[in-house]
């Protein structure tokens, strides 16, 4: 195998390792969120649980982009009535962009 192919393979494996590691962390973090397991059924009874799960997913998405791609994810809402309303609703729900 040529050096270029070895280098590319190493890069691909390194990237896959980064994503797999973050996926494992995500699974652990999701299991720590307020989710009740009744035997073989996972129940999400409260709206706050959905917000917590979405927040964990969003945070892990941003972290993975930074760690694996070197890119920072930022969200800017427009300075309009709609943007202000979206920001207020997200804040009221406890969701942080």
pLDDT tens figures, 14-40: 678 889 999 999 988 888 876 666 666
Q: Name the residue with tokens 């190493």.
A: 10
pTM of the model: 0.73
* For range 46-53, the mean pLDDT: 86
pLDDT at 31: 80
Q: What is the CA radius of gyration of the chain?
A: 19
Structure-model confidence comparison of residues 74 and 15, the more confident one: 74
pLDDT value at residue 39? 67
Q: Which of residues 37 and 94 earns the better pLDDT score?
A: 94
How large a percentage of the chain has pLDDT more than 70? 77
DSSP structure string for 43-97: E--SHHHHHHHHHHHHHHHHHHIIIII---------SSHHHHHHHHHHHHHT---
The yes-or-no verdict on residue 79 having pLDDT over 50 is: yes
């Amino acid at each position: 195998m040529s050096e270029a192919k070895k280098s590319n393979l190493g890069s691909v494996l390194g990237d896959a390792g980064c994503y797999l590691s973050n996926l494992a962390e995500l699974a652990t973090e999701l299991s720590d969120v307020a989710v009740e397991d009744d035997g073989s059924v996972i129940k999400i009874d409260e709206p706050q649980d959905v917000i917590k799960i979405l927040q964990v997913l969003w945070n892990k998405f941003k972290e993975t982009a930074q760690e694996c791609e070197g890119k920072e994810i930022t969200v800017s809402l427009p300075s309009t009535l709609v943007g202000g309303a979206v920001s207020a609703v997200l804040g009221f729900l406890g969701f942080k962009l």
